[in-house]
Each structure stands twice: as C-alpha cells, then as structure tokens.
Amino acid sequence: MPKDMTALSLGIDIGGTKILTAVANSRGAILSSDESVTPVTKSREAVIQSIVDSAHRALKQICVATSEVCGVGVGVAGVSNPEAGILFTSPNLPGLRDVPLRDIIQERLGKKTFLMNDANAAALGEFYFGAARGVRNFLYITLSTGVGGGIVCDEKIYSGAIGGAGEVGHMTIDDDGPICKCGNRGCWETLASGTALAREARQRIREGVKTSILEYAEGDVDRITAEVVHSAAEQGDSLARELITRTGYYIGVGLANLINIFNPELIVIGGGLSNIGDMLLEPAFKTAGERAYKEAFLAVRFATAELGRNSGVLGAAAFALQEMRKTSWG
C-alpha cells in the first residue's frame, strides 16, 4: 500500500444486480459512494456507460476530479485476466464477454485502471481492513446472487494461470443438479446461492405446497427472492425454514470440499445471503464438520465479513493503490 495515507483511489464493484462505486483512502475510509442497478438486460455499452456514470457521481459528491485519485480498481463478477485487463465471461452479466474492460474504463475515465474478480476484490478488502487482517492464508466466500470465492495464499491473491482461480461457485456439487448460467450442471451456486433459494421456493409453491412465503411477495410467485423467503422464515413459516436449512446444507458441502483442498486457517463469509445468519450458517457449519477431514475442520476458523457490502469496493480501491505503488504510473 502507498505510504501516503491520504492517497485516494476509486473502487468499483460490478455485480449481477448492482454497481457500487466509492472513493476511498488507503486507511479504508469511504469518502463517497454511489450505487446503481446493473442494466444486465441492456446492451454492453449500456452496462459500461453505467459504470462510468457511477464513477463520475461518486467523484462529484466530494468535488474530487479524476486527476486527484491515484488509480481505479474494478472488481467484476466472472472470469477475468487481470494482467490483460480482459473480462472473459460473467454468467450474471451475459452481455460482457471477451471485453477489454480495463482499457475501456481507463480510456473513458482518463485514469490508470486495474481489473480483478469481484470476490478477489472482496478478499483483499477483508485482508486489508476487515475480518482477515493479519491472516496469511484464508478463503473469502461470497454468498449472494451467485457464489464466488477469493483465495489468499501467503498474503497474496492466488489468481491462477489466466486469472480464473477462485471460481468456487462453479465446482460441481451434484452432477445431476440444476443447469447453471455458466453451462455446467449442478454447480455450487445453483444449490447454495440466493438465486437457488428463491428458485426452490417458487418451484415448491407451484407444486401446491402451503406456505406464507407468497404473502411476502405480494401474491406474485415471480417476485419471490431470498429476502422474501427469509422474511417468512423469521415468522416461523415451515417451508421457508426448510428451504433455508437445505441451502445451508449445500453451503456446507462446498465448504467441506474447500477445507479439504486448501486447509485454510480462516474462511470469511460475506454476501447478501449470509445476512440470514445462524438459520443458514449453523446447518452449513454442521455439514462441513461432518464431511471435511476432522483435523482440517478443527484448524479452520469461520468469520463473517466485517466490511459487509463494502468488502468488494474497498478491496478494488486498495488493489488500485497497491498496483500504482508498483507501477508509479501518474
């Protein structure tokens, strides 16, 4: 990180549902932020323009010019190559495929830009400013619209041969499971994400199961979300509780695989779905404990992301500062 603790950078977190942008300093303080809906159903140009517009709004809030920030860090859902600056594919952003996203944003903002996976950005955010401070080897898992992961080994993001490492949401859990947006079948995120929870609720209701879940969606089955299921569960709805427990079970299956493969000292769990809390995570940890090697499970500590929804945007901002220190690009 830069020695100048007042250095500013721009962090942009691009997901399947929202674009979150923030101006932050190297102490992890957010000075301004902007949130907008990701226009996933529109053109590639519309998505890119939304990213650029969000950046300008965040800067304008505190009257900071683009020239006054050291750099721009972009975390985006999907498989990307940070060195080449290319987003290869993103299951939740179908219009962005083989896009030189780094160079496009760099040209439009006129500032050096760096690209990375959004879960890797969140892992960096928690490493520098959150639950993983001082931890050399850990995993960050985001449970949200999809499921993503960041792998930190010896205090560095492990990105793999082309930058595609950490796509834990697309490991196969059930080879006869639901078809994933990535084209595979039975991926972890088809069983353990907010999207999966809502899908299962809609399916069971269409099959005629009696539940109050529909009341929380104003009677429209197509408006059922993970948040709706959670609301019903908090009021004691049996189906909602059953589905959350089921989702927790599948989270646990995936966690057991990761514990056996990586033997981490810490797993940080973030993302909107994790806000359900113990109702979801207790069955997840129980299943992981039953399925992982006992010694490896006993060695791991679980923590919730301290930065919440800001993990990714702060990690992206920190990544920009970190890379600018290496390149000394003005």
Question: What secondary structure does DSSP assign to 214-274, as a single string?
Answer: GGGGTT-GGG--HHHHHHHHHTT-HHHHHHHHHHHHHHHHHHHHHHHHH--SEEEEESGGG
Stretch(es) of the chain classified as CATH 3.30.420.40:
8-117+309-327, 131-305
User: Hey, which residues does 99 pair with through a beta bridge?
Assistant: 87
CB contact at 8 A, 23 and 56: no
Place of tokens 């948040």: 227
Q: What is the mean pLDDT of residues 169-181?
A: 95
- What does the pLDDT read at residue 6? 64
Averaged pLDDT score across all residues of the chain: 93
- pTM of the predicted protein model: 0.90
Place of tokens 């619209």: 145
Please give the single-letter amino acid code of residue 17: T
- What does the pLDDT read at residue 96? 87
At residue 135, does pLDDT exceed 90?
yes
At residue 5, does pLDDT exceed 90?
no
- What does the pLDDT read at residue 162? 85
Of the candidates 216, 224, 176, the one whose C-alpha atom is nearest the C-alpha of residue 197 is: 224
Task: Return the CATH superfamily for domain 8-117+309-327.
Answer: ATPase, nucleotide binding domain (3.30.420.40)
Task: Return the CATH superfamily for domain 131-305.
Answer: ATPase, nucleotide binding domain (3.30.420.40)
User: Hey, which residues does 35 pair with through a beta bridge?
Assistant: 20
At residue 2, does pLDDT exceed 50?
no
pLDDT single digits (tens) 57-116: 999 999 999 999 999 999 998 889 999 999 998 877 888 899 999 999 999 999 999 999
